[in-house]
Structure 1
Amino acid sequence: MVAIEDLYSTLIREGVRRNLDVVAEFCVAPRNRLFEKKIDVAWVRKREDANRFGSLRRWQIVAAFEIEGYDVPLDRLELHTSQIKQLWEEERECFPCFVPLYTWAFHRTNPEWGNDKPERKIRQRVEEARRLGGVVDVRDGRDMSWLDAVAR
């Protein structure tokens, strides 16, 4: 089992190990300000680019991570996909966006949450992300070996 705190801790530690700046709740918005997105964890590099908007003027996103529970509603994956896609188009550069799923939650008020086997729901969310075009990459947070290949 993996809790949300485990994922945050791993992502922060790994970003720092790669000599990147790590920002929790990294706030970005497109120029049209149709939305403001707070990326759960962003690996970023400093830059100065007057042609960029908001926080992206100062920071380049190397990788984005949206941490969700294994039962995250499918429409939430659709929202992540559309927002990341719009940021890619505006920035004219793609950065990977991963959605690692946690399977244990100390912060949930329902004591039964996480007691069922999550494999089927995780598989559904992985397939949904692929169906939506693969803009976000949903991963089972219990195995973070995929992280080795990110930002190398």
Structure 2
Amino acid sequence: MKGTTVSDVSAIARERAALTTIADAIVAASVGRGLRVVLDCPNTHLALVDYLAQALHARGRACRCLPNKPNPDDAGGLPRDRHEPGSTIVVITSGLATETDRFAQHVNISVTAPTTRAPGGNAGYRETGGAPSGESGEPHIILDYGDPDGPVIRYMASHLTTGDGQ
């Protein structure tokens, strides 16, 4: 770990804790169903998609990624007006290939990252808005990388925190 600082290790630990929480919630909410996770992720944080797929796989969900920027207006995708420039939409799916998408558990995740530096050296961040609605295709989870100590889960829909699989 030559060249790794304590703050780097702290940020890595915080990222792993956030991904553990997210993966556990997704798996609990999707018991007995297929899974479709749509991530709107800054291009600088695309490794997160692989980490989340690995975490889901470790919990018994064999996943595959569809990295070809699928149509965000399709079932379970993020609406076009929520998609940020400089980001990529990636879909992680799990379940039988013949399974119809409507029976899958849909989870939309928006990952935010620091934007440009504001005058005075303070980092500006994208707005995350209010509590999203699952019906509109807005995020069920907002993972914010703007915190200097590592990522923070800013929002998680109640059906994921209670595990009721709605």
| TM class by smaller structure | 0.3 to 0.5
**Higher relative contact order structure (alpha carbons within 8 Å, sequence separation ≥ 6):** 2
